[in-house]
């Protein structure tokens, strides 16, 4: 199984900050990586697919990069609605696997 490791597990930031979350795969997943945002009590929402492609309707303040085993999600100019938990997911091979999540909190 491919293990997905996110860092950091939690992050405190201020409104207006730019933050980066990292996701590392235990083996090459090419670019078969997605990023999700989840708010408490809500379903996850897709942000990025194929490592760097923005889902329709997602603001351009979200961006993804990387290939192979190392990937990043960057959020620029944080707003109050961006404070949530973020997950990465690989879909290169079964079983599909998620990172453990990164909780982004207001400082």
Residue ranges binding another protein (CB under 8 A): 32, 34, 36, 38, 43-46, 49-50, 55, 87, 89, 91, 94-101
Least spacing, CB of residue 38 vs another protein, in Å: 8
Identity of the residue, 69 or 89, whose beta carbon is nearer to another protein in the bound complex: 89
Helix (H/G/I), strand (E/B), else coil: 82 = helix
Helix (H/G/I), strand (E/B), else coil: 81 = helix
Q: Which residues, 6 or more positions from 41, have their beta carbon under 8 angstroms from its beta carbon?
A: none
Identity of the residue, 69 or 90, whose beta carbon is nearer to another protein in the bound complex: 90
Least spacing, CB of residue 103 vs another protein, in Å: 11
C-alpha to C-alpha distance for 94 and 47, rounded to whole angstroms: 22
Beta bridge partners of 71: 23, 66
Which letter does DSSP use for residue 80 in this model? G
Least spacing, CB of residue 78 vs another protein, in Å: 22
Tokens linked to 103: 């909780």
Identity of the residue, 15 or 50, whose beta carbon is nearer to another protein in the bound complex: 50
Least spacing, CB of residue 32 vs another protein, in Å: 8
């Amino acid at each position: 199984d491919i293990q997905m490791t996110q860092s950091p597990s939690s992050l405190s930031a201020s409104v207006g900050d730019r933050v980066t979350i990292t996701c590392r795969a235990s083996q090459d997943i090419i670019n078969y990586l997605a990023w999700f945002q989840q708010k408490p009590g809500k379903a996850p929402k897709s942000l990025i697919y194929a490592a760097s492609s923005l889902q329709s309707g997602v603001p351009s303040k979200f961006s993804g990069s990387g290939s192979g085993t190392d990937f990043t999600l960057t959020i620029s100019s944080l707003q109050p609605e961006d404070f949530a938990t973020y997950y990465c997911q690989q879909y290169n091979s079964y079983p599909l696997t998620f990172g453990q999540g990164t909780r982004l909190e207001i400082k």
